[in-house]
Amino acid sequence: MIRERGQASVELVALLPALVLLAIAGWQAVLIGWSMLEAEHAARIAARAAMIGGSPAAAARSALPGSLARRSAVSRSGGRLLVRLQVPSVIPGLAPHVTASAPVVRQ
């Protein structure tokens, strides 16, 4: 008769690294999604500021949380404002960026 004592411990040790990697990847995905939403919001705010003659870059940075505002860039491409953010990274060496745009409408 084969004894199965400790089998659960062995399985846990074998699966634990995979579970940790899955959790880290999931958290990174959440950070990317959050950054995309923040970039879209900042692009809309920057477009509104440009419509009334204000500074789009200052408006976009004021709409972003401090951690994202420091890693942001605002540029103009044709009739659109682009906001590019560096996503906070959980994985060392990974530096993803997200970009959002909003049209600048002159009235």
Instruction: Encode pLDDT of 47-79 as tens digits.
Output: 999 999 899 999 999 999 988 999 999 999 888
Range of the domain at 77: 7-103
Which residues make beta-bridge pairs with 102?
81
pLDDT digits (tens, 9 = 90+) for 20-39: 999 999 999 999 999 999 99
Number of domains in the chain: 1
pLDDT of residue 3: 66
What is the residue-wise DSSP string for 62-95?
Answer: HHS-HHHHTTEEEEEETTEEEEEEEPP-SSTT--
Helix, strand, or coil (residue 19): helix
Residue 16 DSSP class: H
pLDDT of residue 106: 73
Q: Would 1 be classed as within a structural domain?
A: no
Q: Please report, for the chain, how many H helices and E strands are present, in that order.
A: 3, 3
Provide the whole-model pTM. Answer: 0.81
Residue 72's Cβ-count burial label (10 Å; 0-12, 13-18, 19+) is: buried
